Amino acid sequence: MDELVRALSAVGAQDRAHDEPRDECAERGQERAEQALRFVLEVARLLGAEVRARAQALLESLPEAEQARQLDAAAEAPAALDESVGRLIALLARG
């Protein structure tokens, strides 16, 4: 009986030893994903003013009827992000 307990204890210790690197890897993956998200948000923050200014200038250059149509279209629910955005974020997360 003692041998069985020792064998089961050894197996349990091996399982825990295998879980530790997996846990560390998951933590690193989480940290990298958070860092990638911070990077994407910072880029969006830095580009936001320029993108808004260009969009405003483009809108102002359109005839009034087209401006109204564009503004109405913008009020509708936005379409889902293109899958290329997801691929970009995944690439950044992988490092």
Sequential DSSP letters for 26-60: HHHHHHHHHHHHHHHHHHHHHHHHHHHHHHHHHHH
Whether 66 maps to a domain, the answer reads yes
Whether 13 maps to a domain, the answer reads yes
- 54, 43 contact by CB (below 8 A): no
- Structure confidence by residue, pLDDT tens digits, 10-57: 656 565 555 556 677 778 888 888 888 888 889 889 999 999 999 899
Surface-to-core class of residue 92, CB atoms within 10 Å of its CB (0-12 exposed, 13-18 middle, 19+ buried)? middle
Whether 80 maps to a domain, the answer reads no
Whether 67 maps to a domain, the answer reads yes
Whether 44 maps to a domain, the answer reads yes
Q: Is the pLDDT of residue 66 over 90?
A: yes
**What was the pLDDT predicted at 63?**
95
Whether 79 maps to a domain, the answer reads no
Range of the domain at 53: 2-74+85-94
| Number of structural domains the chain divides into | 1
Angle (nearest 5°) at CA 32 between 31 and 36: 120
